[in-house]
Amino acid sequence: MEVILLERIARLGQMGDTVKVKDGFARNYLLPKGKALRANEANNKKFEGQRAQLEARNLERKSEAQEVADKLDGKTFVVVRSAGETGQLYGSVSTRDISDILTAEGFSVGRNQVELNQPIKTIGLSNVALALHPEVEVTITLNIARSADEAERQAAGEKLDSAEAIYGDDINENARPDAFFDPNEDGFEGDEEEA
């Protein structure tokens, strides 16, 4: 199906372009969301009549998104989650979680604006891209840790995804075989032969 784009769509085209897309994409996404019109003579005239209004609205949205992007650029947000000793989260941090965190901090970001290819499943620092407008992208950093104290340690550059990082270097000292067995002892009591 051929459609006329009413706004810039990533990997598809600019406002006013006539592009060929799959029928389902047009019917289920572009047309209901008001991002495109079917390409025909009547809609082409309608688009040309509204072009100035659409461009003004697009410019206004872009400037609003740019203001938010300037405030968000390079910011770090702390996310406290339960995790195992190896840093594996009991659950994950998804686009909805990131959107909720940003909303709690006073930024209006929808979960569809968070560009996350797969959920975050380990503690550590993660860069996340936000597409606030088709022409405005910004990157934030998520500091995912078990506690606020660990988040500060991670921000300072310490890696906390191993048991040694959590409990200290002496964790392996207590697990040495000589801590359990006396090397001077000849044998065990249960090793005597039965007659």
Q: Which domains does the chain have, with CATH numbers?
A: 2-61 (3.40.5.10), 76-172 (3.10.430.100)
**pLDDT given at position 23:** 94
**pLDDT given at position 132:** 87
Q: Rounded to the nearest 5 degrees, what angle is found at the Cα of 104, between the Cα atoms of 98 and 105?
A: 95
* 26-34, long-range: CB < 8 A, 24+ apart: 26/1, 27/1, 30/3, 30/5, 31/3, 34/6
**pLDDT given at position 183:** 61
Question: Which mean pLDDT values do the consecutive 10-residue runs of the chain (195 residues) have?
Answer: 89 90 94 92 90 88 89 89 88 91 89 88 90 88 89 80 54 56 60 52
Query: How distant is the alpha carbon of residue 112 from its chain centre?
Result: 11
On the 0-12 / 13-18 / 19+ scale of CB atoms within 10 A, 144 is: buried
**pLDDT given at position 157:** 78
Are 169 and 179 within 8 A, CB to CB?
A: no
- Whether pTM > 0.85 for this model: the answer is no
Are 72 and 107 within 8 A, CB to CB?
A: yes
